[in-house]
Chains A and B, each alone.
Chain A
Amino acid sequence: MFRALQTTFGIAVVIFLLMPIFAILPLAFTSSVFLNYPIPAYSMRWMHELTTAEVWRTSIVNSLIIGGGATVLATVLGTLASLGMRKGALPMVGLLRTVFLLPMVVPAVVLGVGMQIFLVRIGLASTYLGVIVAHAVLCIPFVIVSVSAALQGIDPSIERAASSLGARPVTVFRRVTLPLALPGVVSGAIFAFATSLDEVVLTLFVAGPNQRTLARQMFSSIRENINPTVAAAALLLIVGTLCLGGLGALLRWRQGRKTAAAVA
């Protein structure tokens, strides 16, 4: 009885969470010009619009450029930071870690205002590089969390063994530390890309008209001329995110299997 209630409630919550997504998706294939039900007929009209209309096309390209750039920057910097904070060689590592993770909790508006002022100062306002840097700040915490966890899992005596067998520090890193931390680095990068992909608030502050990302374009199209292209864009984002999430899960599963095998 209680179990049944539990299950029903659980299902209800899941439906509540997923409903908005399922509600919007079919509208990507409507033939009507309005973003509402009922759907008169199914067509690829808006998918076509999404991939051919200039504003949408450039926004997709922009999202890929900025997402890719922010991912590379955040992954490199975040990995280096995790390595630096690892061995307790630095003083006040705890404080440092908190500072690095701050963008996760600081409201994006606050960050946006600050970034805007800062980027204008250094002449990067409304440039790709500026947006990439701003996104990277948001993405770095995800990389640090993921890579730090992976580094924590490496037995220090494995690196010592490599060193005693004649490997210089750089070689130890390249042949042992990095390969062992790689799953953490990759999953950090996936998180970073997904974060950049749906970032709107910060983008509103720091991006100029030339750096409209897909998320930003969806936001303005809803306010300006609402039509089902936005549903098509939503579909694209969801499929993209699901693919990334699936990749991440696959990596974790493989890692889990490896650990399980190591324990057995």
Chain B
Amino acid sequence: MRPFIQFESVSKAFGSLTVVNALDLAIKKGEFVSLLGPSGSGKTTILMMLAGFERPTQGAIYLDGKRIDHLPPYRRQMGVVFQNYALFPHMTVAENVAFPLQMQRVPRAEITRRVERALDMVKLEQLKDRRPSQLSGGQQQRIALTRALVFEPSVILMDEPLGALDKQLREHMQLEIRELHKRLGLTIVFVTHDQSEALTMSDRIAVFNAGRIEQIDNPQVIYDTPRTRFVAEFIGETNLIEAKIASIDNRIARLSLGAGLSAHAHAADGLSAGQTASFSLRPERIRLGMAPEGSNALDMTITDCIYHGDHMRVQLTRDDFSLVARCERLAGNWTVGAPVVASFDPSDCTVLAQ
């Protein structure tokens, strides 16, 4: 049986520019999948192909077992939330929300009832006679979401829906959308270029680079064990250091890091001894001043210390080798110039192909 949504080697080219390249993507019913990637990586194009506004140049798209890539948008039953909300400016809030129900020829009395219930759900019932231009950005966003939800579409597609909101409101809306997803069991495909948004909201994240999926997995796996250098750099913050692989045994590589230092690290696929690779280590996985049994321990010097309120960033150096560590607070005797032991577990760092 086919997955609920399936892209089968879908490519899309505009003229000679290939924007999506042989994409295979499967999404389960009720899943919240984020498409994450830098601007221009083809995320919007993929969403537009799913919604029906772009035709794949090659490949097939399936929804619930049926091929849909030849269907026009109005026959696909997908609720799309656009970045700029795309509310109908000449209709009131209630008329906006009623629109998809009118398209489905739902009886008038039922439309009124369902519109009321939907607006009630997002607590905006008192605004139902206003025009979109009389609403704040956050309210417009919520109306756009309500309008996309009210006709109970099989899938909700969102293209950077929170990009225009300020930080506080954005975080609030993230929680609200997650809540709705859980409560209504929605299938959501969510496009964003904000990695922290993808990490907090998604069941799975597909990380895109230049029209290809670099890695697709749940947020924790993506964060803890990035499979490529691009993913390691794009998600969160990391120390990325060129290293030589001395040996590999049972997916644990022995690395020489430079400045006479060496460490063990979890190895990605396709690496072999003797190769030069990228060593990725998250700043918060570095411990200072203790080295438990079995961990990597490096003798470093503190060269800088930056206060960030809830945490500190500590620059560690040895000759031309340096690392950034993140810790809650520093012990009193650690000052700039002091020697310190930096330690981390082999399972907390990764070696990646360059």
Task: List residues of A whose CB falls within 8 A of some B CB.
Answer: 155, 157-158, 160-168, 171, 175-176, 179-180, 258, 261-262, 264
Is there contact, CB below 8 Å, between B88 and A162? yes
State the CA gap A85–B99 with chains docked (Å).
Answer: 28
Closest to B148 in A: A165
Q: Is B3 an interface residue (CB 8 A)?
A: no
Q: Which of B70-78, B210-218, B313-321 contacts A (4 or more CB under 8 A)?
A: B70-78
Residues of B within 8 A of A168 (CB): 74
Knowing A163-B72, A166-B151 touch, does A180 contact B90 (C-beta < 8 A)? Answer: yes
Q: What mask results when residues 206 to 238 of chain B are scored 1 for a CB within 8 Å of chain A, else 0? A: 000000000000000000000000000000000
* Shortest beta-carbon distance from B97 to chain A in Å: 10
Is there contact, CB below 8 Å, between A258 and B88? no
Is there contact, CB below 8 Å, between A171 and B103? yes
Knowing A157-B84, A262-B133 touch, does A164 contact B90 (C-beta < 8 A)? Answer: no
State the CA gap A163–B80 with chains docked (Å).
Answer: 10
Is there contact, CB below 8 Å, between A165 and B84? no
Is there contact, CB below 8 Å, between B53 and A166? no
Residues of B within 8 A of A158 (CB): 86-89
Residues of A within 8 A of B99 (CB): 162, 165, 167, 175
Is there contact, CB below 8 Å, between A164 and B51? yes
Q: Is B104 an interface residue (CB 8 A)?
A: yes
Residues of B within 8 A of A157 (CB): 82-84, 86
* Shortest beta-carbon distance from A190 to chain B in Å: 20
Enumerate 17 A-B pairs (CB-CB under 8 Å) in ascending A order. A158-B86, A160-B73, A161-B87, A161-B88, A161-B147, A164-B78, A164-B80, A165-B99, A166-B74, A166-B103, A166-B151, A167-B74, A175-B88, A258-B89, A258-B133, A262-B132, A262-B133
Report whether over half of chain A's contact residues are helix, strand or loop; otherwise say mixed: helix
Additional 20 contacts, C-beta under 8 A, given A164-B80, A167-B103: A155-B84, A157-B82, A157-B83, A157-B86, A160-B51, A160-B73, A160-B80, A160-B82, A163-B72, A163-B73, A164-B51, A164-B74, A165-B100, A165-B151, A166-B100, A166-B103, A166-B104, A175-B99, A180-B89, A261-B134
Q: What mask results when residues 120 to 162 of chain B are scored 1 for a CB within 8 Å of chain A, else 0? A: 0000000000011110000000000001100100000000000
Q: Is B79 an interface residue (CB 8 A)?
A: yes
Mark out the residues of chain B between 62 and 112 whose CB falls within 8 Å of any chain A CB in the assembled complex: 72-74, 76-80, 82-84, 86-90, 99-100, 103-104
Q: Is B52 an interface residue (CB 8 A)?
A: yes
Residues of A within 8 A of B83 (CB): 157
State the CA gap A76–B133 with chains docked (Å).
Answer: 30
* Shortest beta-carbon distance from B154 to chain A in Å: 12
State the CA gap A157–B132 with chains docked (Å).
Answer: 15
Residues of A within 8 A of B103 (CB): 165-167, 171
Is there contact, CB below 8 Å, between B86 and A161? yes
* Shortest beta-carbon distance from A162 to chain B in Å: 7
Residues of A within 8 A of B72 (CB): 163
Residues of B within 8 A of A162 (CB): 88, 99
Residue among B53, B103, B148 with the highest chain A CB neighbour number at 10 A: B103
Residues of B within 8 A of A176 (CB): 88
- Which 7 A-B residue pairs are closest in the complex by CB-CB distance? A166-B103, A165-B100, A161-B86, A262-B133, A164-B80, A157-B86, A163-B73
* Shortest beta-carbon distance from A25 to chain B in Å: 41
* Shortest beta-carbon distance from A131 to chain B in Å: 37
* Shortest beta-carbon distance from B56 to chain A in Å: 17
Question: Of A161, A175, A179, which is within 8 A of B80 by CB?
Answer: A161
Closest to B82 in A: A157
Residue among A157, A158, A165, A179 with the highest chain B CB neighbour number at 10 A: A165
Residue among A160, A161, A171, A180 with the highest chain B CB neighbour number at 10 A: A161
State the CA gap A264–B134 with chains docked (Å).
Answer: 8
Residues of B within 8 A of A258 (CB): 89, 133
Residues of A within 8 A of B89 (CB): 158, 180, 258, 262
* Shortest beta-carbon distance from B232 to chain A in Å: 34
* Shortest beta-carbon distance from B223 to chain A in Å: 32
* Shortest beta-carbon distance from B292 to chain A in Å: 54
* Shortest beta-carbon distance from A261 to chain B in Å: 4
